[in-house]
Amino acid sequence: MTPIVLIPGLLCSAEAFAPQVAALWPYGPVTLASTLEGETIAEIAANILASAPPRFALAGISMGGYICLEIMRQAPERVIKLALLSTSARPDTPEQIAPRRALVAKARSSDFPALLAMALGAILHPAHQNDPALREINVRMGLTVGLEGFARQTEAVIGRIDSRPSLSAISVPTLVLAGDRDPLMPADSSEEMAAAIPNARLVVVTECGHASTLEQPEAVNRALIEWITD
């Protein structure tokens, strides 16, 4: 059985992968990595590697995908398979950086839980924006990470490098999964990764925004089970 390491995204706790843990458990021991330590993507990746199994299948969503790509640079020999969910290999543009920092500043000066609830509109598919269960989970995850964790993760994301030059060096079977209506990660960024990584398979999930693991858990589970059993 293959050990599986799952890495959550920005402002996400282990709950981001709650539906996937149950689905993947029969195929190998599942570890939910912590993203709460480290000032940079490289430091967070190194911390995860320090406690990860010797060899493992690796999956990450959003910021977790950035960390996965860094792990592929730091210790490619330890990764058996790779899954990049709702993520991109591109660095932040100046146009993306300013709103990120503005959101952190707003979180510091306002009602953090209310801001978390309001931010759902920016990540979910229109059909899911008023889902009370999704709203509850996302607010709960954000409060678990906390305001200082949010600020630290945001700066780590802003400072990440361009991963596109290293994509062609990835030699393990790779799943690239995207939501068809992801407002944060345009479809062409997923297509770009899938085209650049040898042995990559692209799956586009319908009626899905950025929070793919929670918005369309059954479709994501099917894709991950096929990935881990292939």
Give 190-224 as a 3 state SS string.
HHHHHHHCCCEEEEEECCCCCCHHHHCHHHHHHHH
Domain ranges of the chain: 4-92+157-229
Note the pTM of the prediction, 2 decimals. 0.95
**Residue 179 CA to chain centroid, in angstroms?**
12
- The architecture CATH gives domain 4-92+157-229: 3-Layer(aba) Sandwich (3.40)
Residues paired with residue 7 on neighbouring β-strands, in sequence order: 60
Per-residue pLDDT for the chain (230 aa), expressed as one digit of tens each? 899 999 999 999 999 999 999 999 999 999 999 999 999 999 999 999 999 999 999 999 999 999 999 999 999 999 999 999 999 999 999 888 988 898 888 888 888 888 887 777 778 887 787 788 888 898 999 999 999 999 999 999 999 999 999 999 999 999 999 999 998 888 889 999 999 999 899 999 999 989 999 999 999 999 999 999 98
Gap between the Cα atoms of 12 and 221, Å rounded: 18
Decide: 10 and 142 in contact? Cβ < 8 Å.
Answer: no
CA-wise closest residue to 82 among 4, 24, 29, 17: 4
Query: For residue 80, with 0-12 CB atoms within 10 Å meaning exposed, 13-18 middle and 19 or more buried, which class applies?
Result: middle
